[in-house]
Chain A
Amino acid sequence: DAGVIQSPRHEVTEMGQEVTLRCKPISGHNSLFWYRQTMMRGLELLIYFNNNVPIDDSGMPEDRFSAKMPNASFSTLKIQPSEPRDSAVYFCASSPNGQGLGTEAFFGQGTRLTVV
């Protein structure tokens, strides 16, 4: 398996533009997570899905952020409009089940977003 695949790896955009980050989880995994990492705040859990259904989006910073998982093999994280403070590395991870059930999560390489 190729692992969790994220695209693009790098994104530079202007303030106010819409940004869409993409994730392909590992085939057969039921749980998908979106994280954001910054120097100031570390790794933050934004949202997670189980069986394509959003379970907890309490980590999504504000309404400008939205995430979807239309099927088991694809998820998107959208920021509209983007702001400079959204600059961060965004990670997607997948897991066979929730990690609290004793299974590990596999992370993608991340998307480095820069909003200028």
Chain B
Amino acid sequence: DAKTTQPNSMESNEEEPVHLPCNHSTISGTDYIHWYRQLPSQGPEYVIHGLTSNVNNRMASLAIAEDRKSSTLILHRATLRDAAVYYCIEAGGFKTIFGAGTRLFVKA
């Protein structure tokens, strides 16, 4: 079973920042936190991952709480193309279990 908790859906306005929360209160010390997103009719797409420190890449930023029990994916300026389901995952070993994710709606 998925071990992360995310809101079912969120809404954002275009060109505004979006903060997508995730709780992973039972995460072990060696598990990575991965974020993927799935656009309509496509396979999941990697967004970002981290272990303890905050991470930035061209797509997003990942803020990880000091106790690692929660994290936040930050899209700095949402566009209509960012409308997707966003999955937060604890990745331990080879196995990756997806939860239900957060469906992000972006309004023009």
Structural contact, A91 and B100, CB atoms closer than 8 A: no
Give the CA-CA distance A35 to B95 in the complex, in Å: 11
- A100 partner, pick from B43, B45, B94, beta carbons under 8 A: B94
Structural contact, A107 and B43, CB atoms closer than 8 A: yes
- A98 partner, pick from B87, B93, B98, B100, beta carbons under 8 A: B93
Chain B residues, CB < 8 A from A33: 96
Structural contact, B44 and A104, CB atoms closer than 8 A: no
Structural contact, B34 and A99, CB atoms closer than 8 A: yes
The interface size bin for chain B is 20 to 34
With A102-B49, A107-B45, A110-B43 given, is the CB distance from A48 to B34 under 8 Å? no
- Total CB contacts across the A-B interface at under 8 A: 69
Interface residue? B21 (CB, 8 A): no
In the complex, which residue of chain A has the Cβ closest to the Cβ of B90?
A: A100
Structural contact, B46 and A105, CB atoms closer than 8 A: yes
Chain A residues numbered 1-53 whose CB sits less than 8 Å from any CB in chain B: 4, 31, 33, 35, 42-45, 48, 50
Structural contact, B44 and A43, CB atoms closer than 8 A: yes
30 A-B contacts, Cβ less than 8 Å apart?
A: A4-B43, A31-B94, A42-B98, A43-B44, A43-B87, A43-B98, A45-B96, A48-B94, A56-B94, A91-B43, A93-B44, A98-B93, A98-B94, A99-B89, A99-B95, A99-B96, A100-B31, A100-B32, A100-B92, A100-B95, A101-B93, A101-B94, A104-B34, A105-B46, A106-B46, A107-B43, A107-B44, A108-B43, A109-B42, A110-B43
